[in-house]
Amino acid sequence: MPVTAPLVTHVPFVILVILAILATLAGCGDDAMSVVDSDAGWGNDAGPIDLPTVAEPLPPAPPRLAIPPSWDCPAGWRSVSVAEGISECTPWPEGGQLDCPAGEAHFPGTAGCALVGAPCPADGWPAALPAGRPVRYVRAPGTAGDGSLTRPFGTINAAIAGATEGDVIAVASGTYDEFFVLPAGVALYGACAAETILTLTRPSPFFFSSSVFLAPTISLMPSRVTSPPIPIIAICTMCISFVCMWSHLSQCVFRGISEQIQDGTAASAHGTP
């Protein structure tokens, strides 16, 4: 009998242990539910991916003409519009290039006509002749002179007749209506472009359209060559093994002249107006 009493006293302790175990299991059950809920959440995230909306690309812009760089026109020139957004420089005023009187020219970039070369000397003779070269003087109307300054020849042909390479023919103011061939190495200097006039009013014996025939390596200085409507000057140059001879024309005014190449293939002019 004494043995049964302790068993009865330990029963409540056993019950307490069982209750504690059940409480622990209940807590684990909550954790399990939490895990299930968490899994459910990830299950929702595993659905279709939300991608950002991409707009359709725009078509390329139409091509545009390249705009040339802008620059300032040279002094005396003006800008003229030739197309939308495009302009060019012109050397002439709004009225265009002027038709100038004898001995004058309208140079690019200037407002109007200006004298070609230096003014005509008061005595009618060329003022600046090359130094150290023989000079043969000519003054119209024709006289039977010897080519000196005091007794000049009356025609250019008379001066050419005895000229040699290196000579200078100085032609005074006047009109010289004659055909002549200027030899190689001979320079012809006029007094000025306004008053030294080389012309031809009748056909020449060799070149029906020329009054002046310039051989290679000659110089034709201030003078006015004119006789419209007949072209009046022929320049003869030659090229040997691509080495060309030349003719030097300076401070001259040419009227009624057209370009023509005979027995050749090309011609060019270099320099400034």
Q: Which of 11-15, 20-24, 48-52, 88-92 has the lowest mean pLDDT?
A: 11-15
User: What predicted TM-score, i.e. pTM, was given to this entire model?
Assistant: 0.55
Predicted confidence (pLDDT) at residue 136 exceeds the cutoff of 90? yes
Q: Please, what is the average pLDDT of the chain?
A: 69
Q: How large is the average pLDDT for residues 160-182?
A: 85
Give the Cα separation of 128 and 118 in Å (integer): 10
Closest CA to 104 of 114, 119, 93, 118: 114
Cα separation, 233 vs 254, whole angstroms: 9
**What domains appear along the chain, each with residue ranges and CATH number?**
78-115 (no CATH), 135-255 (2.160.20.10)
Residue 4, classed as helix, strand or coil, is helix
Distance from C-alpha of 222 to C-alpha of 99, rounded to nearest angstrom: 20
Higher pLDDT, 120 or 184: 120
Mean pLDDT of 52-65: 81
Spatial separation of the C-alpha atoms in residues 43 and 38, rounded to whole Å: 9
Report whether pLDDT(153) > 90.
Answer: yes
Task: Kindly tell me if the per-residue pLDDT of 20 is higher than 80.
Answer: no
Confidence of residue 254 (pLDDT cuts 50, 70, 90): low
Is residue 264 pLDDT above 60, yes or no?
A: no
Q: Which range (159-168, 185-194, 241-250) has the least confidence?
A: 241-250
Contacts by 176-181, CB closer than 8 A, 24 or more apart: 176/138, 176/140, 177/201, 177/202, 177/211, 178/211, 179/204, 179/205, 179/206, 179/207, 179/210, 179/211, 179/212, 179/213, 180/156, 180/211, 180/212, 180/213, 181/213, 181/215
Dump strand ranges (E) for the chain.
78-83, 86-90, 104-106, 113-115, 135-138, 168-171, 174-177, 180-182, 187-190, 196-199, 212-214, 218-220, 223-226, 233-235, 239-240, 243-244, 247-249, 252-255
Assess whether pLDDT exceeds 70 at residue 9.
no
**pLDDT score recorded for residue 8:** 46
The mean pLDDT of 12-34, rounded to a whole number, is 58
- Confidence bin at 45 (pLDDT 50/70/90): low
Banded pLDDT at 207 (limits 50, 70, 90): very low
Which has more confidence, 29 or 85? 85
Instruction: Give the model's confidence band at 47: pLDDT under 50 very low, under 70 low, under 90 confident, else very high.
Output: low
- Fill in the amino acid letter for 227: S
Q: Quick check: 242 pLDDT over 50? A: no
Instruction: Tell which residue, 264, 156, 175, has the closest CA to residue 220.
Output: 156
Q: For position 27, what pLDDT does the model report?
A: 55
